[in-house]
Structure 1
Amino acid sequence: MVAAGALPMLLLLWPQFSGVAAADAPLGSPPNQSDPVSFELDVQPILAAAGCNAGACHGKQGGQNGFQLSLLGFDSEFDFDSVVRQARGRRLSISAPASSLLIRKATAEIPHGGGERIQPGSDRYQTLLTWIRQGANRRTVDEPVLESVELVRDDFLLQPDEHAGLQVLAHYSDGTQRDVTAETTYLSNDAAIVSVAADGQMKAGPIPGETAVMARYMNRIRVANVNIPQANPLPPDFYPQAQRNNFIDELVYEKLKRTGVKISDPASDSTFLRRVYTDVIGRLPTPEQARSFLDSKSPDKRLHLVDELLQRREYVDHWANQWADLLRPNPYRVGIKAVLNYDNWIREQFRDDVPYDQFVRRLVTAKGSTWHNGAATLYRDRRSPEEVATLISQLFLGVRLECAKCHHHPFEKWSQRDFYSFAAFFGKVGRKGTGLSPPISGGEEVIYASDKGEVRHPVTGNVLPPEPLFGTAGGEAQEDPREALADWMTSTNNDYFAQVHANRIWAHFMGRGIVEPVDDLRSTNPPSNPALLDALAREFRESGYDQKHLIKSIVLSHAYSLSSIPNETNRGDRLNHSRHYRHRLRGEVIADAISDVTETATDYSALAPQSRANQVWTHRIDSMLLDTFGRPNENQDPPCERVSDSSVTQTLHLMNSVELDRRVRSDTGRAARLADSDLSNAAVVEELYLACFSRRPTPEERSYAEPLLGMTKGERRPIIEDLLWAMINSPEFIIQN
């Protein structure tokens, strides 16, 4: 049922290659010839379990070799028509069921690109024969409807190399249930931690960890959480004695106790100082600020520092720059003036401390001129309801709806109707003006709520009313349906709204989201700590969607202040924040850090003198350093994805940059100033370390650097320049520990 060599991107949906559904997996007790066989309840599950309707086979758009099925069996009417009626009914032979093309292809009796998918004589084979022999009916008399699927057990605590079985039950509208374990398809999120076979048998790997295992039966998905704790149990008093600063620590510890993992030791004051500066305001502390904090004996100095940072003007630029990444349109498409106004609007929201729900509402319901209301640029950039729906659902709900645009979402419950009904909220967005004329598009455009506009289902052609993904919103009753959408999105009944932003903020500060990717909240991608995600979202919601309140809660938790140095139990922890996860600093932070430590400003075109990288409002402003350190391409489809990994290119750039060399050796830079000062060699070395790393040098570092400065007779500038250059090129400068 698949052409030889067809291996597209949806390979993971093809059980033959993923190893999650064998061709001869037993169906269960085969029906008696007199028992009615249902296409929807008996035949379709066989096609799904055999992989016939997978994305790499007949379930892909356009089908395979003239035979198309709905992806994973989400459209029973379409599939019945394809099997029974299409191709003049040649796929079935009622008088000789075993001669049916459907049977002969599936058993590889005749050439078939997919090979043998159903074993002759197996229970699946007998069920198909019986169905065809009975006349290949669409429905049986009083046929029930599949209502739900459950995992008999969905939480497992396994030892290394231990086996455990999943059992799946299907519940029907007539009150009956069926064991469908054999017809279910399984997929482990991390096969190295836990692998799963076609019959639902899981095997724990040799190393501690945790993952989720998906079980899909037809259009129903359930997830089992599997945890493999450390072999040696923790001392019973370890976590009861651990420091707790707020609710975050309690929930982090509760999860770690279950996995048998110890938290790392607390980070030093200097590490915390550099971490919180770069995280909250995107810049390094000055040597004077570092010295003041490190020398302070106040027990509340961290609290006071966080309060101070949240009021700094750099906070605005740092966070507005990050949101500009997510919302920034292509200037070649919408025009430079519109991009500038959009960027100014985003910064204004952070300057005014606008609550997050109001920030989102102003965006979603934006009206007016793109030259006067920057938020309206969203609708200049996104021209169709479908484009807007994809952006809004992913950014503000954490729901990636794009798959449902063409077919039922393979890993979620969203259908094509869900997608286009959601898009219908934007069907009446009107536009007046010159429109787009890339690559210039310099004209003004006015966005308004029109009394016309509709969205149709691409298959049925029916006009769809605006409907939210769940619950009700009353979009048809309002002049501008977007107002109803904003009400629904920001409602306290919508958990997605607070969760996705709380998760995004958590990932920024902790190095990894509770859900990864941060904007992909779905049942098959469960949070590593559901209780913590719920608590963060609740705290955020109850604060009035105050981002600063959420930030303060996170950075003052003990979990945030842990060292990044692992202990014997948490070396393999990548999910539960038993230590701080090291990550490279954002490109703009590195660029501004270089300006600060060298005491030389960067001149950015289209910006005022002395401007900082966090104030750059379009990526058309040239910067080789920002491009090298992951600045996204504006020609890509937003939300723009930044590459946060370190690379050889970045290392080579810092080592060989002519611009960096010029700034280190500038006559008006820090190295020249220190060389001409009356500071002792020890004081010079200390200032360099405080400026670059926010800490004082260790005894070993002093014993190396100070004699170097003493070797020169009155001319220590070249040595200071070399030391400064070496520090900027060290991992400690660009990696947040």
Structure 2
Amino acid sequence: MSVLTESFWLWQFLGRLHPLIVHFPVSLLCIALLLEAIGWLRKSSEWQAGVRAMVWIGTISSVVAASLGLLLVNQDDYGGNTVTIHQWAGLATTVLAMLTALALRSGWTSVYRSLLFVTVVGVSLAGHYGAMLTHGDDYLTSVLPSGTELVSPVASNEKFTFATMAGQSLSDKQVSELNLEVRSILAHNCYSCHGASKTKGKLRLDKKEFILKGGEEGVVLVAGHPEKSEMIRRIKLPAGHDDAMPTKGKRLTDHDIALLEFWIKQGAPWPSGAEKSIYRVAALEPRLPALPNAPAGITNPVDRFVNVYFRQHNIAWKNGVDDRTYMRRVYLDVTGLLPSPEQLNAFMTDARPDKREALVNELLSRNADYAQHWLTFWNDALRNDYTGTGYITGGRFDITNWLYASLKSNKPYNQFVRELVSPTNESAGFIRGIKWRGTINSSQRTEMQAAQNVSQVLLGLNLKCASCHDSFISDWKLADAYAFANIFADTTLEINRCDKPTGKRADTRIIFEKLGTIDGKAATDERLRELANFLVQPKDGRLYRTVVNRIWAQVMGRGLIEPVDMMDNDPWSQDLLDWLASDFVTSGHDIKKLLFTILTSKTYQLPSVGLKEADLIMSPDFVFQGMVRRRLTAEQFTDAVSLAFSPVYADSSIVEKQFPKQVKKEMPFPRASLVKNDPFLTALGRPNRETVSTSRSSQANLLQALELTNGIQFNEALKRGAQHWKATYPTSDGLVTNVYWKALGRAPKPNELAIARKIVGKTPTTEGIQDLVWAISLHPEFQLIY
């Protein structure tokens, strides 16, 4: 809906009718309740016809108002608890109004009257929160005798910890903090029209000298006098006024306005020297923090840093998971496969104190299984697929053989990156991009795709906004994106802003100039060699922090930094991230060694943590307590079904023909990572890989539920498996026990065995067995990594 409302004026217009239409159900339903109460007291039915009409009209108009409200909340920048409560109260009221009308029509008088009363209460609640949205949180309370006056802007601002008294000057630090907050307000509300790229009315608000200079209509700021400043007058005007600013989007909050007034009253102070960015910019250089001291039993470097973090957050270490849980977890993370019952029993009876370290080493040495599993991760990140857009027209090239061989040989990451950026024929597909058919947006030409993909995947940096215009979420400019794209281009690119040529040509330079200078006059191949060498330098701490963060997120369910493509965000442990990245470099850029360090830590062995809301994983207030519980990926789930019940892809020829025969011989069954995408894998979350995909949702969805319930491919696989199980196990108890061991790594509990007997029957039937394995495949214990 948000896409439609941003692109089509009619939806915007209709959405803004919400405040007008919403008053119809409010007034009509309230009057209907009043007349109904009068009629009940007077025991008269003379107004029933009018009441009935009001209820029906109020119900219909409430549906219309709620629909327009959904359009409005998507098209404007509304957010927070107030709008959420208002939205759900409005929707609940709409449902109540419909039930009221149905009860009235059915003649259920007592039910109708009760519902009408509750509906009016709901309308009042929704209206109250609607008024808070338009008039502020203190709309009602501010006029009460007990109401309090608005606190000073400085005291109420979370980011300001200082307080000022009349006549007291600000310190340099206070000026810097105040200025940073003011520029943040201007950047998010004003720069789109009054910045370096677009200067409406010849007014720029992104630099001190421009703000003081004003625009074509004169000075907009009078230092020391907010009441005389045109800027303040305009942002205070009601929406719709010819002079009101901003002209589009949500108006500035009362807090923002008060802060700007305070800043101007202080003389509009501006820190001397270089301006601090309003966005966090992570350090580029590496850093090796000292290993902290830790109590006895905590020796793994990961645990020593996590122990400090736990102390800071008053978190106690929990006991690690049992052997069965650990073995299943580490098997899935290293090879993507389930352990067999025999392997589980052998591990659980093993008395060696270092058996978990030995298990991780053994799994990491299974090179083919490792490569077949981690191929999925890198295919997503490197936008590598076996079919899809560009393959038919020759506008896209896969890197599958190169990638598989690199993973199987555990190629050092610095060499891995070198060959991606300065490619061989086999690895060139990543930076060649997709040559789309027909006319495309200038920000999607192959050179710009290369710049976007390299910056996103290797450096955790989003250049997509800056490929069209100066970014509104970072300091990166349009010229920066084009300069980086020029490294991959055969001819110097003309800068296009929002797909319109500017007549300017960018220079040629690396996105982080501290890493080196690119020779813009050199041939393309030479520029790519220079870029590759600059990127893999040990002093490029960002490259190695980015890959370490991605690997951590893959096995722990959540990165040290989230989202993983925004490496300028704060990590929950900067020391742990820096140490892992530095150790990764000194250990030979070895991803398997990195995995060993993480997978053998007490931290990895902690019980998994479930999140009540999916959004909490991205929350800046996230507190790490252990691995975040994850759903099996599409490929892991498919392979688990293949191992436990029956191969989903029974025909080995389905493995793409570009894989050599040796690869097919290495597989016990066709691995899902090696087959082309299909509706089954798509439903379970495999992306189309036409764009870089560096994370997948771990939440179940309706499409997945439908595919697992009615999907032909899945059900045919279970049917084949059921036929095999029936032929192998003539009794229900033996069959059920073996199914549980293969799928869940344990024997069935007594109540599970009793239920399973009923499902499969005393003499197992194909249909009964299919029902049983289907139910187990949907069990959280099968679908989740605990």
**TM class by shorter-chain length?**
0.5 to 0.7
Structure 2 residue corresponding to 1:314, chosen from 351, 364, 369: 369
Matched, 1:487 2:533: yes
Q: Is the 8 A contact 1:283 1:593 kept in 2?
A: yes
Instruction: State the partner residue of 1:461.
Output: 504
Alignment partner of 1:475 is 2:543: no
| 1:270 counterpart letter in structure 2 | R
Equivalent residue for 1:335? 391
User: Partners of 1:223 and 1:638 in 2: how far apart?
Assistant: 23
Q: Which residue of 2 aligns with 1:722?
A: 771
C-alpha distance in 2, partners of 1:628/1:93?
59
Q: How far is the alpha carbon of 1:221 from its aligned partner?
A: 4.5
Equivalent residue in structure 2 for 1:353, among 410, 419, 444? 410
Q: CA deviation at 1:256?
A: 0.8
State the shift of 1:42 in Å.
Answer: 13
Distance 1:92 1:662, change over 3 A: closer
Q: CA deviation at 1:736?
A: 0.9
Map 1:238-387 → 2, pairs under 5 A? 243-244=297-298, 246-312=300-366, 313-328=368-383, 331-336=387-392, 341-366=398-423, 368=425, 373-376=426-429, 378-381=431-434, 383-387=445-449
Alignment of 1:55-74 (within 5 A): 58-59=193-194, 66-67=200-201, 73-74=205-206
The CA deviation at 1:315 is 1.1
- CA offsets per residue over residues 21-54 of structure 1, 9 Å max, x none? x99847979999xxxxxxx999998974764862
Q: 1:551 aligns with which of 572, 575, 595?
A: 595
Q: Do the aligned residues in 1 keep the contact of 2:759 with 2:772 (CA within 8 Å)?
A: no
Letter in 2 for 1:471: K
Deviation string, structure 1 residues 690-720 (Cα, Å, up to 9, x no partner): 21012333455456556877x62x5566554
Is contact 2:638-2:648 (8 Å) kept? no
Change (3 A) 1:730 1:482: same
SS across alignment from 2:274: strand
Match of 2:672 in 1: 613
1:599–1:669 Cα contact (<8 Å) kept: no
Contact 1:365–1:483 at 8 Å: present in 2 too?
yes
8 Å contact 1:245–1:558 — kept in the other structure? Answer: no
> 2:567 is paired with a residue of what secondary structure?
coil
Query: Aligned equivalents of 1:564 and 1:683: distance in 2?
Result: 32
Contact 2:571 2:577 in 1 (8 A): yes
Determine the structure 2 residue equivalent to 1:534. Answer: 578
Q: What's the Cα RMSD here? A: 4.7
The answer to whether the 8 A contact 1:24-1:118 is kept is no
Gaps of 5+ in 2: 1-11, 17-71, 81-132, 138-149, 155-162, 169-174, 246-250, 283-292, 436-444, 658-663
Q: Which AA in structure 1 matches 2:742?
A: A
TM-score by length of 2: 0.63
> How far apart are the structure 2 equivalents of 1:328 and 1:661?
30
The one-character-per-residue Cα deviations of 1:86-123 (angstroms, maximum 9, x if unpaired) are 36x597999x9988754642453976444787579955
Question: Does the CA contact (< 8 Å) of 1:422 and 1:466 recur in 2?
Answer: yes
Which of 687, 690, 696 in structure 1 is aligned with 2:738? 687
Between 1:468-477 and 1:310-319, the stretch displaced more is 468-477
The 1:30–1:515 alpha-carbon spacing in structure 2 relative to 1, beyond 3 Å, is same
* Counterpart mapping for 1:385-400 below 5 A: 385-400=447-462
Tell me the residue number matched to 1:419. Answer: 481
Amino acid in structure 1 at the alignment position of 2:405: E
CA contact (8 A) 1:588 1:626 kept: yes
The structure whose residues are more often helix, as a share, is: 2
Matched, 1:647 2:693: no
Query: Partner letter of residue 448 of structure 2?
Result: E
Corresponding residue for 1:697? Answer: 748
Measure the CA separation in 1 of the matches of 2:79 and 2:279.
14
**Counterpart in 2 of 1:733?**
782
| Equivalent-residue separation in structure 1 for 2:573 and 2:560 (angstroms) | 6
Residue identity matched to 1:328:
R
2:626 is aligned to 579
User: 2:465 — aligned with what?
Assistant: 403
Which stretch has the larger CA shift, 535-544 or 327-336? 327-336
Report the 3-state secondary structure (helix = DSSP H, G, I; strand = E; otherwise coil) of the residue aligned with 1:381: coil
Contact 1:355–1:546, Cα closer than 8 Å, also in 2? yes
TM-superposed deviation, 1:242: 7.3
| Cα distance in structure 2, aligned partners of 1:641 and 1:403 | 19
The answer (yes or no) to whether the contact 1:587–1:631 under 8 Å persists in 2 is: yes
CA contact (8 A) 2:632 2:784 kept: yes
Shift of the 723–504 alpha-carbon distance from structure 1 to 2, 3 Å rule, reads same
CA distance in structure 2 between the partners assigned to 1:475 and 1:121 by the alignment:
42
Are 1:281 and 1:309, in contact at CA under 8 Å, matched by a contact in 2? yes
Note the C-alpha offset of 1:390: 1.4
1:508, distance to aligned residue in structure 2 (A): 0.8
Deviation at 1:393, TM superposition (A): 0.8
**Larger mean Cα displacement after TM superposition, 406-415 or 484-493:** 406-415
Which amino acid in the other structure matches residue 588 of structure 1?
E
SS at match of 1:535: helix
- Offset at residue 481 of structure 1 (A): 1.7
1:596 aligned partner: 643
Determine helix, strand or coil for the equivalent of 2:729.
Answer: helix
Residues 271 and 376 (structure 1), Cα distance of their counterparts in 2 relative to 1, 3 Å cut: same
Distance 1:669 1:306, change over 3 A: farther
Shift, 1:241, TM fit: 6.0
- What is the CA distance between 1:735 and its match in structure 2? 0.9
The alpha-carbon distance between structure 1 residues 556 and 455, as it changes in their structure 2 partners (threshold 3 A), is farther
SS state at 1:461 partner: strand
Distance change >3 Å, CA 340–CA 684, structure 1 → 2 = farther
Q: Which letter maps to 2:680?
A: L
- SS at 1:334's partner residue? coil
Pair 243,706 (structure 1): closer, same or farther in 2 beyond 3 Å: farther
* Amino acid of the structure 2 residue aligned with 1:684: L
1:393/1:29 Cα in 2 relative to 1: closer, same or farther (>3 Å)? Answer: farther
The residue that corresponds to 1:147 in the other structure is 274
State the AA in 2 paired with 1:335: Y
Of stretches 578-587 and 401-410 in structure 1, the one that deviates more from structure 2 is: 401-410
Give the CA deviation at 1:461: 2.8
| Counterpart code for 2:434 | D
For the residues of structure 1 that align with 2:729 and 2:508, how far apart are their CA atoms? 72
CA distance change for structure 1 residues 119 and 593 in 2, over 3 Å: closer, same or farther? closer
Task: Give me the whole-angstrom Cα distance separating, in 1, the residues matched to 2:328 and 2:704.
Answer: 21
Deviation at 1:300, TM superposition (A): 3.0
Contact 2:235-2:244 within 8 A present in 1 as well: no
CA contact (8 A) 1:264 1:566 kept: no
Q: Equivalent of 2:728, from 664, 671, 674? A: 674
1:291-338: CA deviations, max 9, x gaps?
332333333332232222223212112112221112226855432577
Distance in 1 separating the partners of 2:510 and 2:549: 26
Query: What is the TM-score of this pair, normalised by structure 1?
Result: 0.67
Residue 513 of structure 1 and its aligned partner are, at CA, apart by 0.5
Is the alpha carbon distance of 1:289 and 1:520 closer, same or farther for their aligned partners in structure 2, counting shifts above 3 Å? same
Superposition deviation, residue 558 in structure 1? 1.3
One-letter amino acid of the structure 2 residue matched with residue 327 of structure 1: L
Instruction: Indicate the structure whose relative CO is greater, using CA pairs within 8 Å and at least 6 residues apart.
Output: 1
Q: In the aligned structure 2, how far is the partner of 1:498 from the partner of 1:402? A: 22
Equivalenced residue count is 581
